[in-house]
Amino acid sequence: MTLHTLLRTNNILRLNSLLLSMLLSNVCMADTQVNIVGLFSEKAVVIINGGKPKTLSVGQTSDGVKLLSANSTSATLLIEGKTKQLGMGQAASVGGGSANTNSSVTLYANTDGHFISDCQINGVTLKFLLDTGATSVALNSGDAKYANIDYKRGTPIQVNTASGVVNAYHVTIANLKIGSITLSQVEASVLEGGSPSIVLLGMSALNRLDMKRQDIAMTLTKKY
């Protein structure tokens, strides 16, 4: 073997070694993403890294994700050594990659094609429906009281509904949280009475999110 051939072979080996190191580094930095698509007593249906839904029983592990506990409202998982509690339609991304400043959450459509999940308003958990047809977040007066919103100090307005014109109040929600997404100072309408039955997540919140839909999945990513 000539000196030129030997040097060329060594360079190729060094390049292959460098590429392998970069590949392994990227694998190590890849986050593990888990989405909750079903909740039951002692069981949860999860999607790991965009794969097919899997049903895990408490104590069972799949692809490095272990189900610690589950009920009809939430699941506690061990992901990459970190404990995460997630509700229906929520997601967590854990790993060694660089932090993503844009928080996101993935929702899944129900059998009627609606995106319904849990949110927190001023620290209180309420059900919401994603509604692109609503100009603002809307909630009934009972939910507003439960979320410690003194809505009668807001601006009186009238809102057109399917049942006709109803009295409402224009307010500002101090803190609205959906999974890992937190929005502050969100405009909302509080309607007197029991309608809407769940919070309508309207455009006053959705305008601050990127929405990407793929089949039954809707991913919301915070813009600002």
- Domain harbouring 167, CATH code: 2.40.70.10
Confidence tier at 95 by pLDDT (50, 70, 90): low
Decide if 184 contacts 177 (C-beta within 8 A): no
Q: In the prediction, which pLDDT does 25 show?
A: 42
pLDDT above 90: residue 120? yes
> Quick one: 194 and 120 in the same domain?
yes
| Number of domains observed in the structure of the chain | 2
The answer for residues whose C-beta is within 8 angstroms of residue 54's C-beta and 6 or more apart is 45, 46, 47, 48, 62
From the CB of residue 18, how many other CB atoms can be counted at a distance below 10 Å?
10
> Quick one: 171 and 203 in the same domain?
yes
Give tens-digit pLDDT for 47-91: 888 788 899 999 999 988 999 999 988 899 998 888 988 887 777
> Quick one: 125 and 164 in the same domain?
yes
pLDDT above 50: residue 121? yes
Q: What CATH number does the domain containing 78 carry?
A: 2.30.30.830
Confidence tier at 165 by pLDDT (50, 70, 90): confident
Decide if 141 contacts 190 (C-beta within 8 A): yes
> Quick one: 167 and 195 in the same domain?
yes
Tell me whether residue 108 is in a domain.
Answer: no
In degrees and rounded to multiples of 5, residue 193 shows phi and psi of 105, -160
From CA 11, how far away is CA 69, in angstroms rounded? 52
pLDDT above 80: residue 28? no
Q: In the prediction, which pLDDT does 1 show?
A: 52
Q: In the prediction, which pLDDT does 93 show?
A: 73
| Range 185-212 average pLDDT | 96
What radius of gyration, in Å, describes the C-alpha atoms of the chain? 23
From CA 65, how far away is CA 34, in angstroms rounded? 8
Q: In the prediction, which pLDDT does 18 show?
A: 40
DSSP annotation string for the chain: --HHHHHHHHHHHHHHHHHHHHHHHHHHHPPEEEEEEEEETTEEEEEETT---EEEETT-EETTEEEEEE-SSEEEEEETTEEEEEETT-EEEESSSPPPSS-EEEEE--TTS--EEEEEETTEEEEEEE-TT-SSEEEEHHHHHHTT--GGGSEEEEEEETTEEEEEEEEEEEEEEETTEEEEEEEEEEESSS-SSSEEE-HHHHTTEEEEEETTEEEEEE--
For the whole prediction, is pTM greater than 0.75?
no
Confidence tier at 116 by pLDDT (50, 70, 90): very high
> Quick one: 134 and 174 in the same domain?
yes
> Quick one: 120 and 95 in the same domain?
no
Tell me whether residue 159 is in a domain.
Answer: yes
> Quick one: 128 and 169 in the same domain?
yes
> Quick one: 82 and 143 in the same domain?
no
Range of the domain at 81: 32-99
Q: In the prediction, which pLDDT does 14 show?
A: 53
> Quick one: 93 and 175 in the same domain?
no
pLDDT above 50: residue 15? no
> Quick one: 143 and 175 in the same domain?
yes
